[in-house]
Amino acid sequence: MARVSALTFALGTLLVSAHCGSNGETPPIVETDAGDGGAAGEDATVAVTSDAGSTATCGSIGAACTGPTECCVNACNNSACGGPATGDAGTVKICNGAGGICARGFDCCSGTCNGGKCVGNTLGGAADGGLGGTDGGTLVCNDVAATCKVSGDCCSGRCEPVTGQAGVIKCRDACRANGQACVTAQDCCSLGCFNNQCGANLCTKIGDACANNQQCCSGVCDQDTDKCVVDVANSTCRPTGESCGSGPQSGCCGRTDSNDLCVDGRCASLRRRARVSRPRAPPTPSVAASTAIPRRRRARRRASQPAVLARA
């Protein structure tokens, strides 16, 4: 397992980001109602079954511990899993790479804990769009509030512009479940923040009607037109949920080197991109198939008519 250790550790949750497995299919995402991106009980522990069939229980980051072997990330500091570790510099979290054991999403550098194992980790490596790179097999990614250029720079997988601050793009922490407090649309997994609470409705994109800044994906509601507009002060790229693919500075801040994350006209996060599914259109019948029924009907009508003898 690849692990990252840091001098400082801010306890927080990581965004769930889904990556495809070897068969090309997106694995299901397991979440709790707290929006922490993982599956676990109230004590933040999970029973993990290894390939050999043995079952062990590990504590998630923040769980009480007496030694590192009790923790999914194999680090126990100040009687809590995770925490600060000595000897390593940087602003990166302790987390497990793909295949590592986990109790919740924030045990994984990818932010995705599925069935007790970390799933698909593309964060950190320069080849995967991250700035951190790798060092002796140790995965490196940036913590919350660190400057970023693409999603892969951030341990949370969330790289977003800061409204009103020119050219400032930073790593965000985990998104929040419906009902949780919020300030902007990007605070919420649903991408909808209304009356300071995450809800099921999606934020409003530029050009559409709005009543306040909070309703807009861009975070800016023009008071003269009552419509959402681009954040002119920080228009380097667009935040998750905003329209993309048209107009100036239309690129998504959360993009990766291999994916612009523009889905159905809106910027998507790694997590939302993996979950997008479009309904399949019914198959279009071929010309031969569409004419087969009328031909059979004409044949039946001719067969039912009495035979007419040819005149001599």
Around Cβ 125, how many Cβ atoms within 10 Å?
Answer: 17
Domain count, the chain: 2
* Domain membership flag for residue 137: yes
Q: Which residues, in sequence order, are bridge partners of residue 238?
A: 252
Per the document, the length of the chain is 312
165 and 127 in one domain? no
Residue 79: partners with Cβ closer than 8 Å, 6 or more residues away: 64, 65, 66
89 and 57 in one domain? yes
* Domain membership flag for residue 92: yes
139 and 168 in one domain? no
183 and 215 in one domain? yes
For residue 302, the model assigns a pLDDT of 56
5 and 139 in one domain? yes
Per-residue pLDDT 10s for the chain (312 aa) are 333 333 222 223 333 332 222 223 222 222 222 333 333 333 444 444 333 333 447 887 777 889 989 988 888 887 878 765 433 434 445 777 777 887 776 677 666 666 677 755 444 444 433 334 444 334 456 767 888 887 777 767 788 898 888 889 888 877 777 888 888 998 888 899 999 998 888 999 999 999 999 999 999 999 999 999 988 888 878 898 998 866 666 688 877 666 777 888 888 765 444 333 333 344 444 444 444 445 555 555 555 554 443 343
138 and 28 in one domain? yes
66 and 22 in one domain? yes
* Domain membership flag for residue 107: yes
Q: Which of 2, 13, 19, 1 shows the shortest CA–CA distance to 270?
A: 19
Nearest-angstrom CA–CA distance, 272 and 165: 26
Residue 218: partners with Cβ closer than 8 Å, 6 or more residues away: 163, 205, 206, 228, 229, 230, 231, 238, 239, 242
* Domain membership flag for residue 153: no
For residue 61, the model assigns a pLDDT of 75
Domain that holds residue 119: 1-143
181 and 104 in one domain? no
* Domain membership flag for residue 282: no
167 and 111 in one domain? no
Model confidence over 96-122: pLDDT tens digits? 777 788 777 667 766 666 667 775 544
139 and 22 in one domain? yes
| Structural domain ending residue among the three candidates 73, 108, 143 | 143
For residue 213, the model assigns a pLDDT of 94
93 and 182 in one domain? no
* Domain membership flag for residue 254: yes
For residue 116, the model assigns a pLDDT of 77
* Domain membership flag for residue 199: yes
Q: What is the DSSP letter of 107?
A: G
| Structural domain ending residue among the three candidates 143, 167, 199 | 143
| Structural domain ending residue among the three candidates 143, 170, 186 | 143
pTM flag (> 0.75): no
Model confidence over 131-184: pLDDT tens digits? 344 443 344 567 678 888 877 777 677 888 988 888 898 888 777 778 888 889
For residue 263, the model assigns a pLDDT of 81
* Domain membership flag for residue 150: no
